[in-house]
Amino acid sequence: MNSLFKRLSKHKSFTFLVTVSFLTALSSQAFGQEPTNTIPLSNDFFSAINTIWMMIAALLVFFMNAGFAMLEAGICRTENATNILAKNLIVFCVAATAFFIFGFRFMFGDSSNPVFGQFGILVDSLFPSEVNLNPFPQGFENLRFFWQDRSFAAIFFFQLSFAGTTATIVSGAVAERIKFWGFILFSFVLAGFIYPLVGYWVWGDHGWLASVLNFHDFAGSTVIHCVGGTAALVGAWILRPRHGKFGYDSATESFPYGEEVGTFEPCNPGFTTLGCLILWVGWFGFNGGSTRFLEYVPHVLITTVFASTSGGLAILLYSPLVTGYKVKLSSIINGILGGLVSITASSAYVDILGACIIGAVGGVLVLLGESLFQSNLLRIDDPVSAVPVHLFCGIWGTVAVGIFSQSISREFNSLHTIAQQTFYQFLGCSCVILTTLLLSLLAWMAIGLFLYYLNPSVSYHYSEGDIGVLTTVRRGLRVTLEDEKAGSDATIIM
Amino acid sequence: MNSLFKRLSKHKSFTFLVTVSFLTALSSQAFGQEPTNTIPLSNDFFSAINTIWMMIAALLVFFMNAGFAMLEAGICRTENATNILAKNLIVFCVAATAFFIFGFRFMFGDSSNPVFGQFGILVDSLFPSEVNLNPFPQGFENLRFFWQDRSFAAIFFFQLSFAGTTATIVSGAVAERIKFWGFILFSFVLAGFIYPLVGYWVWGDHGWLASVLNFHDFAGSTVIHCVGGTAALVGAWILRPRHGKFGYDSATESFPYGEEVGTFEPCNPGFTTLGCLILWVGWFGFNGGSTRFLEYVPHVLITTVFASTSGGLAILLYSPLVTGYKVKLSSIINGILGGLVSITASSAYVDILGACIIGAVGGVLVLLGESLFQSNLLRIDDPVSAVPVHLFCGIWGTVAVGIFSQSISREFNSLHTIAQQTFYQFLGCSCVILTTLLLSLLAWMAIGLFLYYLNPSVSYHYSEGDIGVLTTVRRGLRVTLEDEKAGSDATIIM
Amino acid sequence: MNSLFKRLSKHKSFTFLVTVSFLTALSSQAFGQEPTNTIPLSNDFFSAINTIWMMIAALLVFFMNAGFAMLEAGICRTENATNILAKNLIVFCVAATAFFIFGFRFMFGDSSNPVFGQFGILVDSLFPSEVNLNPFPQGFENLRFFWQDRSFAAIFFFQLSFAGTTATIVSGAVAERIKFWGFILFSFVLAGFIYPLVGYWVWGDHGWLASVLNFHDFAGSTVIHCVGGTAALVGAWILRPRHGKFGYDSATESFPYGEEVGTFEPCNPGFTTLGCLILWVGWFGFNGGSTRFLEYVPHVLITTVFASTSGGLAILLYSPLVTGYKVKLSSIINGILGGLVSITASSAYVDILGACIIGAVGGVLVLLGESLFQSNLLRIDDPVSAVPVHLFCGIWGTVAVGIFSQSISREFNSLHTIAQQTFYQFLGCSCVILTTLLLSLLAWMAIGLFLYYLNPSVSYHYSEGDIGVLTTVRRGLRVTLEDEKAGSDATIIM
């Protein structure tokens, strides 16, 4: 570290970078963790093929950023496309930084306690060294044991792309009405703290869900999708609907009309379909990269593909047979995505028939979830159906591990009966969701209040008198009615 | 199987899935094939790198779904984009299911007869087992021998993505006028029965084209592209042109005007170009994954790239030099795709100069084919030029194997003289095309009649009196004139 | 070769291919290099995993063609989209052919002189042979030594995709006003001669920059991006601005208005964002494929990702904090791309903190460069900011090698002090840029004069009297004012 700061101090012109480096230094100094003493790892242990597959899988997951961007830009209205694209582009930058500085050690660092890992950043750990190309820093013995012959840098990159995905899920649900900086700040908190905390419980060293309940979540139906979906739900609930949606009036903050005002048609079905197909391809990396055993990769890809096709086919048959309505393109897309989210928790544990059932149920669940959200009971405005897809199917996928897992899979430890395991799956998933719900609420509120008091004069609100804290939060997080009508600007974002 | 059904029966709520599971059970019981006795395969035989490359190639081929969707959505008119996108999205779901239930064993199962393989599905074969991760079910000795050290699941996934491609080729030629369900049903028949039947002749265990004629088709110029192109041709011919194209009047079902009415401009050149580039990238998986020897992969990629660049350059020079017209973007795209289809049969057998010639001829062939189809002689409306690209270049590519193959390639058995081999290539290709022609015609007719009698009252047709069977078929397959004018609905498909 | 021509001569119908084959024959005969005597390479030396990773990286780089096409089509105005798409599609065809016939041996052939490699093409070298699957032709001992266990065909394909990238960079800067054929011819010269010449100095056998100065350029900040950026700068400067941009009047070839006339808004932010994300993914292949040691790949990907996220975040903070303006989507995109270009020269040599600083500076540099170009001082019209992104960040990235490289990296030979190395980096980069500047100027002028005298009557110019050579060149290269206003035609290109 010292030599680095010496180098830095020579280049006084980089003053605008001081914030970044100061933060970096602070966080590593504050916790007294100078992870310089790396344990040598013989190159004998480095498996090229395992590492390369991990990199390829990570790149497929990274490419999902393009999928989310296209999916959301295509579903939103034209005037908001630029804004949602900018959010989807910058969110990976923010999430990667947060996960690097705070999240990774917190989620994957060795720890004897069941609730969280370590604090601190990873700069020196990822320093190339002649002696030892892929050093594991002190404090990652569990990770080294789990991923055996992969390099530390490979594991870090793979997990980085996962963390980015979690943050991206939120953007769709809060689209077209959230302030740019509100979203940026929440993404930082989500990827840096909330996701790593509950992630540790399932995938961390001594995380209590895995070790106490024998909770299984193969590639993240709970850890990624329930967490992202819950954070999205809280955001969409706090922000209330877009102006005109469900008859919501953003000026009076109420529902005076009782029915939808204006049009909310997707602006570009081509982008949406492309987004779905990119996500589909990316999911093979998502699931396929999550197994430790390369021999399982083909099987994982097959369960993944059949869950998704079953999700799509279920929608194809469900819409005309059950609802009597014709099939929508957006329903097929969400059916496929629902199938993919549902199989994420179990793709290495189930056979094809199980995958088909899991996917088909997931697909239908999305349609039911959409109906529920649009009912007068809830009136929660989730433009891209992020909550039905990620949260509802995430829960179903997690529970389905208990029902359909084959005990003979090397990846799955069957300690309980089917009923027991199913119950523990549900219990673990509920704990993760409740915790995320609480922490997300706190985070959204803190950010909303911060943005409100930072600039209280810029207000579009016509209601007077005392307002509750949630209203204040919403006013801090939400763009003005003028900006919302203008579409948060055509080319200028923020 | 029994344990699976016990599990299933516990979840009575999945009633809507009964159809699927019943079908599954039926097809495996009906033919008395319980493929549970798997032959143990030592893990020593599992080559990680061969399997991973096969998976990557399969994912590249899978990504071609996005390429076809973009290509076709960009070429079609705006009001039909949603419809064509929905077809491209769901077709993989349908084709994968058909290929799983009926196609795969039919195409690749061991068989002593030269015409078809086995019947039945693959559920238990793709079940993860502690003892034997990648079991080959009984009845796939030929596949195990051919692909040696790959797992069965890997081979199945790779072939699944190929089957999906075949079905996707059709959608472009019948775009903007076919009923959603007509296309769905045909895709099921094509991927489940027609493609596997002729595919067996070339790539199957004792397929007569390969064993009797020494017919060679490296990655599927005949098996994929001629089959898809022929099915597309039959569909486009039965459906007749879009309303207004070539002066066709959909109300009177005749050509009263003699010239084009209305505009058929592509709606989005950006999507079309993106589609071409995605297909281009995907083709490297298509060809590169088809060689058994990893040492050949770089060579295969190089012949593939030079055939495509030559296809593009041939169009660039041909248009101004021969036709005197300026170059169109769509011609460059089709030139590149024509080069790619042409080299598919021979990319492992030829050198670069051969690849350049094959690709250049293929590129020009697409332009000639387009002219032929748009001539008053044929007036076949193929919006995306699927038939010139896939069928014409598929034939040329297959024949070119005989002309340009180097006998010293390990992949190519040279038993004949150049003239003989060229003749056998042409003969084999013709047999496949004629069979596909006949079976596609039967399939289109059966589906058309079924849809007509299912709902004869919904008819847009003003002509009276007795109508021929082909007219009935067309009326069953084709959307109403109102729907066609409205663009098959903006967001609702079907 | 002879047997090939015999085959060819049998097919007299391929007359339109004579030009290609004649050129091929000529270039290999002219220099008396029949590279038929290949040195046998034992298959023991063929590393499957190294080769497959190289192929995957090459495919990722190839996919960047789609990224450039989308980025540029999205930034340009609607009426020019077809034209820019066609250029982006055909440029790879042209560049690949030029690099195959002239470039590859010129850049990578063994040579004892420090300035250039060999002349000639590679047909026979890439011929599949039973005995020797991956032969290195005579005259590539250095390449075989450097890339050790990769096949020759793999290395060739990888370098081919790099050469294509260099040519693609130019298209953005000259967009919306260059003649189609002017761009085609320049791309041929750039990929066939200019790029290989300076490329040899850095990556060739005895190139003087590497051997004399110990100049380091890991994946091509100088070799690819400075070369492409410089060629783009010269083109944009010769062509002068688009009609109306900076108040330029294409009729009088002057700046009568003093301010922008008309709108130059990007037509499709969705395409632009997708393009950025595709380029981002492709860059992992660009950098990740450039290391000889697979163990370094994860580290290279991590420095690449953090440089890009820092570039994006730097823009996010720089815009509001320093300029006071709000953030634009296009600025975030260019910030990320600037970070990627900057880290290209050093991604295997630096640690994460270094990568963050390199990327952040690169991101800001793009904004400063854009301001400079749009100032009244320069008024150079570069629609997609290709010069700030590729040239300015290319220079910075090259110099940063000296400042931030860790001497203990196996890829980096530290012979000098930091100050010395930094100076040599700057010196080498300057030599490459100046040479490219000169040769590009000559090439643009030769092509412009050729096109002018080929068709001098087609002129939109109203100015009379003697005109200087640069004006003649511009009139040869530039489309007519009518075509420019009409947007170079909606579907017809050229």
How is B31-50 classified by DSSP, letter by letter? TT--TT-PBP--GGG--HHH
Q: Output the pLDDT for position B376.
A: 78
Q: Output the pLDDT for position A457.
A: 56
Q: Return residues 261-280 of A near B (CB < 8 Å).
A: 265-266, 269-270, 273-274, 276-278, 280
Q: B61, B76, B89: best mutation site toward chain A, by most A Cβ within 10 Å?
A: B89
Q: Hey, which chains touch C, using 3+ CB pairs under 8 Å?
A: A, B
**What amino acid occupies position B171?**
S
Nearest CB among B124, B154, B494 relative to A327 is that of B494
Question: Does residue A244 have a pLDDT over 70?
Answer: yes
Beta bridge partners of A249: A254
Measured between beta carbons, the chain A residues lying within 8 angstroms of C299 are 126, 128, 133-134, 151, 153
Q: Output the pLDDT for position C295.
A: 85
Query: Which of B122, B108, B152, B39 is CA-nearest to residue A353?
Result: B122
Q: Is the minimum CB–CB distance between B326 and chain C shorter than 8 Å?
A: yes
Residues B113-147 pLDDT 10s: 888 888 877 766 665 554 345 567 888 888 888 88
Q: Is the minimum CB–CB distance between A308 and chain B shorter than 8 Å?
A: yes
Q: Do A293 and B160 touch (CB under 8 A)?
A: no
Task: Give me the mean pLDDT over the C179-190 stretch.
Answer: 95
Q: For residues C448 and C472, is the Cβ–Cβ distance under 8 A?
A: yes
**What amino acid occupies position B319?**
S
Q: Output the pLDDT for position B382.
A: 93
Task: Give me the mean pLDDT over the C203-214 stretch.
Answer: 92
- In the block, tokens 């044929």 appear at B378
The winner for highest mean pLDDT among B1-10, B27-36, B127-136, C238-247 is C238-247
Measured between beta carbons, the chain B residues lying within 8 angstroms of A354 are 4, 7
Q: B36, B47, B52, B93: best mutation site toward chain A, by most A Cβ within 10 Å?
A: B93
pLDDT averaged over every residue in chain C: 84
Q: How far is C198 from chain B (nearest CA, A)?
A: 25
Q: Output the pLDDT for position B309.
A: 97
Q: For residues B341 and B389, is the Cβ–Cβ distance under 8 A?
A: yes
Between CA A235 and CA A441 the distance in angstroms is 8
Q: For residues C119 and C196, is the Cβ–Cβ distance under 8 A?
A: no
Residues A335-344 pLDDT 10s: 999 999 999 9
Q: Output the pLDDT for position A101.
A: 92
CA angle A386, A387, A392 (to 5 degrees): 125
Residues B208-255 pLDDT 10s: 999 999 999 999 999 999 999 999 999 999 999 998 888 888 888 888
Closest alpha carbon within chain B to C18: B357
Burial of A260 (0-12, 13-18, 19+ CB in 10 A): middle
Query: Which of A289, A306, A385 is CA-nearest to residue A72?
Result: A385
**What amino acid occupies position A359?**
G
Residues B394-441 pLDDT 10s: 999 999 999 998 765 667 777 788 899 999 999 999 999 999 999 999
Measure CA of the first residue to CA of the last residue in chain A; give whole Å.
36
* pLDDT band, residue B3 (cuts 50/70/90): very low
Q: Is the minimum CB–CB distance between C48 and chain B shorter than 8 Å?
A: yes
Q: Is the minimum CB–CB distance between B330 and chain C shorter than 8 Å?
A: yes
Task: Give me the mean pLDDT over the C418-447 stretch.
Answer: 96
Q: Return residues 378-437 of B near A (CB < 8 Å).
A: none
Question: Does residue C215 have a pLDDT over 90?
Answer: yes
Q: How far is C62 from chain A (nearest CA, A)?
A: 15
Q: What percentage of chain B has pLDDT greater than the value 70? A: 83
Between CA B432 and CA B223 the distance in angstroms is 8
Q: What percentage of chain C has pLDDT greater than the value 90? A: 55
Q: Do A276 and B89 touch (CB under 8 A)?
A: yes
Q: Is the minimum CB–CB distance between B70 and chain C shorter than 8 Å?
A: no
Q: pLDDT higher for A354 or B20?
A: A354
Q: Do B357 and C127 touch (CB under 8 A)?
A: no
Q: Output the pLDDT for position A46.
A: 66
Q: Which of C49-63, C150-164, C241-255 is the least confident region?
A: C241-255
CA dist A253 to A389, A474, B474, C253, Å?
A: 27, 10, 54, 56
Size of interface B-C (CB pairs under 8 A): 195
Q: Which of A336-350, C417-431, C459-473, C475-489 is the least confident region?
A: C459-473
Q: Which of A131-135, A271-275, B267-271, C196-200 is the least confident region?
A: A131-135
* pLDDT band, residue C37 (cuts 50/70/90): very low
Query: Which of C20, C200, C203 is CA-nearest to residue C103?
Result: C200
Q: Output the pLDDT for position C415.
A: 79
Question: Does residue C462 have a pLDDT over 60?
Answer: no
Residues B250-268 pLDDT 10s: 888 888 877 888 888 888 8
Task: Give me the mean pLDDT over the C465-475 stretch.
Answer: 82
**What amino acid occupies position B473?**
V
Q: Hey, which chains touch A, using 3+ CB pairs under 8 Å?
A: B, C
Residues B354-370 pLDDT 10s: 999 999 999 999 999 99
Q: Do A123 and C294 touch (CB under 8 A)?
A: no
Inter-helix orientation angle B352-374/B393-404, to 10° = 150
Nearest CB among C270, C306, C333 relative to A81 is that of C270
Closest alpha carbon within chain C to A82: C269
Q: pLDDT higher for A262 or B105?
A: B105
Question: Does residue C446 have a pLDDT over 60?
Answer: yes
Between CA A461 and CA A481 the distance in angstroms is 8
Q: Is the minimum CB–CB distance between A16 and chain C shorter than 8 Å?
A: yes
Question: Does residue A8 have a pLDDT over 50?
Answer: no
**What amino acid occupies position B38?**
T
Q: Is the minimum CB–CB distance between C318 and chain A shorter than 8 Å?
A: yes
Q: Which of A361-370, B297-306, B371-380 is the least confident region?
A: B371-380
Query: Which of A322, A275, A329, C234 is CA-nearest to residue B84?
Result: A329
Q: Do A123 and C353 touch (CB under 8 A)?
A: yes
Q: How far is A297 from chain B (nearest CA, A)?
A: 8
For residue C310, what are its two tokens? 């820092």
Q: C77, C281, C316, C408: best mutation site toward chain A, by most A Cβ within 10 Å?
A: C316
Residues B45-70 pLDDT 10s: 568 899 999 999 999 999 999 999 99
Q: Which of A478-487, B380-389, C101-110 is the least confident region?
A: A478-487
Domain boundaries, chain A: 48-491
Q: How far is B151 from chain A (nearest CA, A)?
A: 8
Between CA B361 and CA B373 the distance in angstroms is 18
Nearest CB among C85, C152, C156 relative to B273 is that of C85
Q: Output the pLDDT for position B493.
A: 44
Question: Does residue A153 have a pLDDT over 60?
Answer: yes
* pLDDT band, residue C21 (cuts 50/70/90): very low
Measured between beta carbons, the chain C residues lying within 8 angstroms of A73 are 269-270, 273
Between CA A340 and CA B294 the distance in angstroms is 31
Q: For residues B281 and B305, is the Cβ–Cβ distance under 8 A?
A: no
Q: Output the pLDDT for position A487.
A: 67
Nearest CB among C46, C89, C124 relative to B333 is that of C89
pLDDT averaged over every residue in chain B: 84
Give the architecture (CATH level 2) of A48-491.
Orthogonal Bundle (1.10)
Question: Does residue B20 have a pLDDT over 50?
Answer: no
Q: How far is B153 from chain A (nearest CA, A)?
A: 5
Q: pLDDT higher for C305 or C127?
A: C305
* pLDDT band, residue C262 (cuts 50/70/90): confident
Q: How far is C64 from chain A (nearest CA, A)?
A: 13
Q: Is the minimum CB–CB distance between A327 and chain B shorter than 8 Å?
A: yes
Q: Output the pLDDT for position B42.
A: 39
Q: How far is A325 from chain B (nearest CA, A)?
A: 9
Q: Do B491 and A321 touch (CB under 8 A)?
A: no
Q: Do B277 and C160 touch (CB under 8 A)?
A: no
Q: Output the pLDDT for position C486.
A: 75
Measured between beta carbons, the chain C residues lying within 8 angstroms of B264 are none
Between CA A483 and CA B331 the distance in angstroms is 44
Q: Output the pLDDT for position A11.
A: 44
Query: Which of C370, A158, A321, C58 is CA-nearest to residue B302?
Result: C58
SS3 label, residue C488: coil
Burial of C490 (0-12, 13-18, 19+ CB in 10 A): middle
Give the single-character DSSP code of A70.
H
Residues C388-409 pLDDT 10s: 999 999 999 999 999 998 766 6
Q: pLDDT higher for A203 or C324?
A: A203
For residue B39, what are its two tokens? 């032959």
Q: Do B295 and C94 touch (CB under 8 A)?
A: no
Q: Output the pLDDT for position B44.
A: 41
Nearest CB among B85, B151, B156 relative to A295 is that of B151
Q: Hey, which chains touch B, using 3+ CB pairs under 8 Å?
A: A, C
Task: Give me the mean pLDDT over the B295-321 stretch.
Answer: 92
Q: Return residues 169-208 of A near B (CB < 8 Å).
A: none
Measured between beta carbons, the chain A residues lying within 8 angstroms of B81 are 269-270
Q: Output the pLDDT for position B438.
A: 98
Residues A35-92 pLDDT 10s: 333 333 334 446 889 999 999 999 999 999 999 999 999 988 877 888 889 999 999 9
Q: Output the pLDDT for position A107.
A: 95
Q: Do C157 and B270 touch (CB under 8 A)?
A: no
Q: Is the minimum CB–CB distance between C353 and chain A shorter than 8 Å?
A: yes
Q: How many CB atoms lie within 10 A of CB C292?
A: 16
All residues at 6 or more sequence positions from A244 whose CB lies less than 8 Å from its CB, including other chains: A260, A261, A262, A264
Question: Does residue A32 have a pLDDT over 80?
Answer: no
* pLDDT band, residue A10 (cuts 50/70/90): very low
Measured between beta carbons, the chain A residues lying within 8 angstroms of B128 are 296, 299, 348-349, 351, 406, 408-410
For residue A288, what are its two tokens? 């396929």
